[in-house]
Structure 1
């Protein structure tokens, strides 16, 4: 497949809202990644079983720690269930617009079941490290699925707000003990009426360190605040990246219930020793 270097350069420029790093290499996959955007308006068109199976195959092709595969995913199509999940996630309408919501789980239930069949101990599953592995595995799998979906012309958006009420989500999806809903991924056909642009990210000078961490990289935030501010202004929004960051860190009230995450995990069978 021939690659249009000019198109790749345009996508990279959009990603940074500034000239991108010199010499970026390109490929169809890199172009797809540079073009990523969250989609929040969908057509009602179905996403069929073959497509879901394809996304899960892509997800299962992601790296997984020690091949333990400590994740699962629930494909939710039922309109009433999605409506309730949308409500629990703060009323996000795109959860109900799109035909499917993939709920990604940290799944130690399967591992506990295997251990029970072999009458083997599971004390290691009680430690924070094992839960972290499950969250990382689920995130890697979901991102593979998201990239696959976008390569097929579909749109996606993550729903982290499912963690606002994990007990209710778990009950709704009939999750067993030792399974925890990490986040959702909306999948559907983007509504062409939504002209969402690629959102600029921090410059590489803010995130890329060589050999050791360089705290002077924090200075790059000031320029980014100007560029993302201009982007938001073009979108008719009065947002500030710095203000949003500071608001999220300001206190437990800003976490919308996720300040009780340790408690919720404990209740789901994750002691986090």
Structure 2
């Protein structure tokens, strides 16, 4: 048990990978760990698209904003919200599925994908592999949906690069636990001071890494001052996720 917890606490995202395939037995362990996680009402509204083909991974690397580690690592898994199966189940029972049209349905799909990805990450890292999540599979969702041949009521939520690390990255600092774990109610006092202190830590971290980022608050400001993947909403609607309920 202690080894599992230490593996989790030692997590870091890897962006340089060896040219080394993952044995099928090892990859299957990771995928089974993901599938073993709970889903809302046991609806299992999640599918994993496993991409091993080099050419397809290169296309996805370009679609995600030219992220070379996607093509470099041997496997990319795309976690996909999947209400296509449940729609067929509803039709089998003579009913019309509605949940995929609601914000609740979108949240259910995203939460279940996050739970499954967490398990996949822990499993992969416990087996000596490295990972990096890829939110930018939503950067050009129309082309991603077409490339993956996704049916209605499905949507690509996030990718996970898996491979053998070429070199370990530095462990990234986190916020103090007191601003992450709140007792009974949200504790607003001290959050601003914690941001100031964390910015200093991240500034040192980025300098040591030679990164262009300066600190945490400027990083999130640059991202969150805009909707950075504006095609998500219109493509979700085209896939049947209306988000109007």
- TM bin, normalised by shorter chain, reads over 0.9
Q: List runs of 5+ in structure 2 lacking aligned partners.
A: none
SS of aligned partner of 1:216: coil
CA-to-partner distance for each residue in 1:69-124, whole Å, 9 max, x for gaps?
Answer: 11010100111110100000000000001111001100011111222223222123
CA-to-partner distance for each residue in 1:56-75, whole Å, 9 max, x for gaps?
Answer: 21112222111111101010
Work out whether residues 179 and 187 of structure 2, in 8 Å CA contact, stay in contact via their aligned partners in 1. Answer: no
Give the deviation of 1:259 after TM superposition: 2.3
Partner of 2:165: 190
Q: List runs of 5+ in structure 1 lacking aligned partners.
A: 1-25
- State the alpha-carbon separation in 1 of the partners of residues 212 and 103 from structure 2: 39
Work out whether residues 205 and 217 of structure 1, in 8 Å CA contact, stay in contact via their aligned partners in 2. Answer: no
Partner of 2:181: 208
SS of aligned partner of 1:234: helix
1:58 to 9, 16, 33: 33
SS of aligned partner of 1:210: coil
Taking structure 2 as the reference length, the TM-score comes to 0.95
SS of aligned partner of 1:186: strand
Work out whether residues 153 and 240 of structure 2, in 8 Å CA contact, stay in contact via their aligned partners in 1. Answer: yes
SS of aligned partner of 1:62: coil
Q: How many residues align?
A: 242
More displaced stretch, 118-127 vs 39-48: 118-127
- State the alpha-carbon separation in 1 of the partners of residues 171 and 121 from structure 2: 16
SS of aligned partner of 1:215: coil
Work out whether residues 131 and 161 of structure 2, in 8 Å CA contact, stay in contact via their aligned partners in 1. Answer: yes
Taking structure 1 as the reference length, the TM-score comes to 0.85
Give the deviation of 1:238 after TM superposition: 4.4
Give the deviation of 1:214 after TM superposition: 1.5
- State the alpha-carbon separation in 2 of the partners of residues 128 and 155 from structure 1: 33
SS of aligned partner of 1:199: coil
Taking the TM superposition and a 5 Å limit, the aligned residue runs for 1:247-266 are 247-252=222-227, 255=228, 258-266=229-237
Larger radius of gyration: 1
CA-to-partner distance for each residue in 1:226-268, whole Å, 9 max, x for gaps?
Answer: 111111111123421111111112223xx1xx12322111011
CA-to-partner distance for each residue in 1:120-177, whole Å, 9 max, x for gaps?
Answer: 2212332110121011101110110111000000010001001011111110011111
SS of aligned partner of 2:86: helix
